[in-house]
Amino acid sequence: MSFNVADIRNQFPILHQQVYKKDLVYLDNAATTQKPQRVIDVLDKYYQKYNANIHRGVHFLSSHCTDATESARKTVQEFINAAHSHEIVFTRGTTESVNLVAQTFAEKFIKKGDEIVVTRMEHHSNIVPWQMVCEKYGAELKVVDIHPDGQINMDSFKAALNEKVRLVAFTHVSNTLGTINNVKELTSSAHQQQIPVLIDGAQAVQHTHVDVQAIDADFYVFSGHKIYAPTGIGVLYGKEKWLEQLPPWQGGGEMIDQVTFEKTTFNELPFKFEAGTPNYIGAIALGEALDFVRSTGIDQIKAHEDALLTYAAEKIRQFDGIKIIGEAPEKSSVLSFVIDNIHPYDIGVLLDKTGIAVRTGNHCTQPLHDWYKVPGTVRASFALYNTKKEIDYFIEKLEQVLEMLK
Ligand code: PLP
């Protein structure tokens, strides 16, 4: 399969515009990705022609949307190589998926004195839901350390696993450091002690091949909007044996089997966890986005993004006083940095005026920033449609901005 970045860019209408009369250079892909025309077309087509609520209608439009939604579920299943399509639950995104697991898992399995383990590099979405349930059930949240280069400290990880631990939650790829964790090894360590794992794949699925069976993940979660799909749709993968054991989360339509005022019985998987009208058109568009990634080739995407990262990191290292936060050998296309005596926010604001979109702040990893003793970082994150020319422009403008701020 040949990878032609110009052809790819042509599929993303939003990239072909100017902001402040400058060509847009979008380097904020870890926050959200742009959408290819084919995903936009699917949304348009479904709202123009096919929209009808799913699973409960006998009429043509409803059957059509139901079939398309279930076909999207199969696409997700194949994309992450889940064993069954009923192990794929549609949610609003990573955050909702983590909350769903945290709350239902805790209700069933967590009691006073138990422990839940996370790592220092987690996004707030993979910290706060666990903190909340720990507080509610009297459990303790334990934190695994990292090395200064941004790799998980395996000694700390192994030391955290004891008989009180009920679950370990860790990210596949760090949204701040870019570190690609060895999720297979982490999972295997946890499993040696019979501890299940939840893996946050929000920054992984769009950059690297994910096989939940090869990883042996118990739960794997991600958001559609970070993989070229719309906002408001996400995925919770759970092994059947776990999803079967968890109680339902939200109550309402769709998730039930029989309802009387005396007692309600619940629907089978995955519908037990999909109360109310789901974002079915979002799910269908997610299927389209995954087909787009599949047909482009995840290995080609990764090779392109890796080359961009190496190129950008080499150039940025030449600036005086710069420190890259996150230098793990296995890295995804995230480049976070700080510069001596200059606030990241000022850099972000001035770059914006040149048409460059980067993110500044703590990227929802405040404990990680505290640990590095930095108030925030500037983060440039690359996707399959970015180019070396854009990076050259970014470096040129960064140099000018730093001159101004000196
Ligand atoms: N986990 C990681 C690693 C992320 O990067 C993000 C978003 O930035 C999330 C979780 C939360 O994703 P969402 O806001 O789509 O729920």
DSSP string, 98-130: HHHHHHHHHHHH--TT-EEEEETT--GGGTHHH
Check: pTM over 0.95? Answer yes or no.
yes
pLDDT single digits (tens) 79-104 = 999 999 999 999 999 999 999 999 99
Quick one: which of 46, 75, 73 has its CA closest to 61? 46
Question: Torsion angle of alpha carbons 398, 15, 390, 229, nearest 10°?
Answer: 90
Are 61 and 165 part of one and the same domain?
Answer: yes
Domain membership flag for residue 276: yes
Are 128 and 270 part of one and the same domain?
Answer: yes
Are 326 and 281 part of one and the same domain?
Answer: no
Q: What is the pLDDT of residue 385?
A: 98
Q: How far is the CA of 31 from the centre of ligand 1 (A)?
A: 8
Quote the domain boundaries for residue 347.
5-28+297-405
Q: What CATH code is carried by the domain that includes residue 341?
A: 3.90.1150.10
CB 221 within 8 A of CB 94: yes
Mean pLDDT of 178-187: 98
Q: How far is the CA of 170 from the centre of ligand 1 (A)?
A: 12
Are 11 and 46 part of one and the same domain?
Answer: no
pLDDT single digits (tens) 325-338 = 999 999 999 999 99
Residue to mutate, 33, 118, 123, 176, ligand 1, most ligand atoms under 8 Å from C-beta: 123
Instruction: Answer yes or no: is pLDDT of 56 > 80.
Output: no
Domain membership flag for residue 323: yes
Q: Does 279 contact ligand 1 (Cβ within 6 A)? A: no
Q: Does 223 contact ligand 1 (Cβ within 6 A)? A: yes
Mean pLDDT of 316-320: 95
Q: What is the pLDDT of residue 2?
A: 77
Q: What is the pLDDT of residue 244?
A: 98
65 is a catalytic site residue:
no
pLDDT single digits (tens) 354-385 = 999 999 999 999 999 999 999 999 999 999 99
Least confident of 53-67, 79-93, 234-248: 53-67
Domain membership flag for residue 257: yes
Q: How many domains does the chain fold into? A: 2
Domain membership flag for residue 200: yes
Domain membership flag for residue 254: yes
Q: What is the pLDDT of residue 1?
A: 58
